[in-house]
Structure 1
């Protein structure tokens, strides 16, 4: 796995670990969430994976998108903003 460029599934796993730490396991991030962030303009694809069709995202961009969407996610599960 190229740590700088992640597929939606790999990006979700990284972002999920961060969100899990903040929410004590109450909030999860799925690959579909990564794709939604991209569709909504929070995240930009940076290339294609080796299969030639799976989009990849930079880890730093995934982290920024996670931070940008965190407050809403925490509100939805009833937690205060961190």
Structure 2
């Protein structure tokens, strides 16, 4: 896993960070992918805060990713059977 810039995360980095929290809570049964991050953006749970060095990839603040994970956690874990 690459080192995280805590100010701005790409969707992949954001997914990796949020996935660690979700894995802990769900005993490894629930995962967060970059598509999940994009879904959170589409549904209004998360907003992009900038662009990565390639000027194409959106970035997200770590605190915002954590809030979105917390906000969506209860619904996601309802669908997990451990």
Give TM class, smaller chain: over 0.9
Deviation at 1:46, TM superposition (A): 0.1
> TM-score, normalized by length of structure 1?
0.92
Instruction: Select which of 33, 36, 49 maps to 2:36.
Output: 33
Structure 2: any 5+ residue segments left out of the alignment? none
| 4+ long deviations beyond 6 Å | none
Aligned residues: 79
- Structure with the higher fraction of residues in strand conformation: 1
Distance (Å, rounded) in 1 between the aligned partners of 2:56 and 2:36: 18
Deviates more, 1:69-78 or 1:10-19: 69-78
**2:9 is paired with a residue of what secondary structure?**
strand
